[in-house]
Structure 1
Amino acid sequence: MRFKRYCKTLLLENNPDLIEAYKNVHSPGNTWPEIAQGMKEVGILDMEIYIHENRLFMIMDTVADFDHDRAMNELAGKPRQSEWEAFVSRFQVTSKEASANEKWVLMERIYELDPSAEYKAIDGQQKQTK
């Protein structure tokens, strides 16, 4: 199966209490089901978020024909998405009005153990399950 992978980053407020609260908001059973449903509807197959201190790192796997900008614009209009973004903005170094696309910055790959091709971050890295 072919898919695209995007990697993104975001900073949280450097406050241990807010960081713990953010982690709790994202723990199993605490995320809003409408948010996950909206991501699936725009073509996001899987998403993982990792944390180190106040830096977040996201891995987002999508369908092979995923158009990042189009999907992020569509996602912004999904039910409760703007409410979710305003809710989590208190933890993030961002504004309440910012969309997920404005908060999460695409990262450029600079190394891969077994490189297959160059790609632009906005186009996603073509991947294939083995």
Structure 2
Amino acid sequence: MKKHCLALDLKDDDALIAKYEEYHVNVWPEVLDSLANSGINHMEIYRVGNRLFMIIEVEDGFSFDRKAKLDAGNEKVQEWEVLMWNYQQALPFAKPGEKWLPMDKIFEFEADD
């Protein structure tokens, strides 16, 4: 099992942020199926202000490239992505076309038993 952390911004508008969160109360079943089929076993999204932070736990064979190819061929996932882009915006330092950006782990702590 491997963990990835990613970040993305929402448009800085309280009404849009509230609507985005509403959509995530009942994510479309086709989107949830695509997550599972791509090898994602667990996902959490956190928000502070308009910044989002996503943690995913994936199977050993997981690939972001493979997931992107699967998503590109899934009409409902593409519809979801277009809809979500109404609320999302790229991070200020993102390259054109980049959405969720992987974060680098810079610290880890584990207490002794």
The aligned residue for residue 119 of structure 1 is: none
Measure how far apart 1:22 and its partner are: 0.6
From 52, 59, 62, give the equivalent of 1:56.
52
Contact kept, 8 Å, 2:9 with 2:51, in 1: the verdict is yes
Aligned length: 104
SS in 1 for 2:74: coil
Contact kept, 8 Å, 2:8 with 2:99, in 1: the verdict is yes
Give me the CA root mean square deviation. Answer: 1.5
SS in 2 for 1:71: helix
Contact kept, 8 Å, 1:38 with 1:79, in 2: the verdict is no
CA offsets 1:77-129 (integer angstroms, 9 cap, x no match)? 224111001111111115xxxxxx93111111111114xxxxxxxxxxxxxxx
One-letter code aligned to 2:61? D
The aligned residue for residue 83 of structure 1 is: 79
CA offsets 1:58-81 (integer angstroms, 9 cap, x no match)? 001110121222223223322411
Q: Structure 2, unaligned stretches of length 5 or more?
A: 91-96
* Distance in 1, Cα, partners of 2:13 & 2:49: 9
Q: Structure 1, unaligned stretches of length 5 or more?
A: 95-100, 115-130
Identity of aligned residues (%): 38
* Distance in 1, Cα, partners of 2:57 & 2:72: 18
Superposition pairs of residues 37-48 of structure 1, within 5 angstroms? 37-48=33-44
Superposition pairs of residues 1-130 of structure 1, within 5 angstroms? 3-27=1-25, 30-94=26-90, 102-114=98-110
Measure how far apart 1:39 and its partner are: 0.8
* Distance in 2, Cα, partners of 1:24 & 1:8: 21
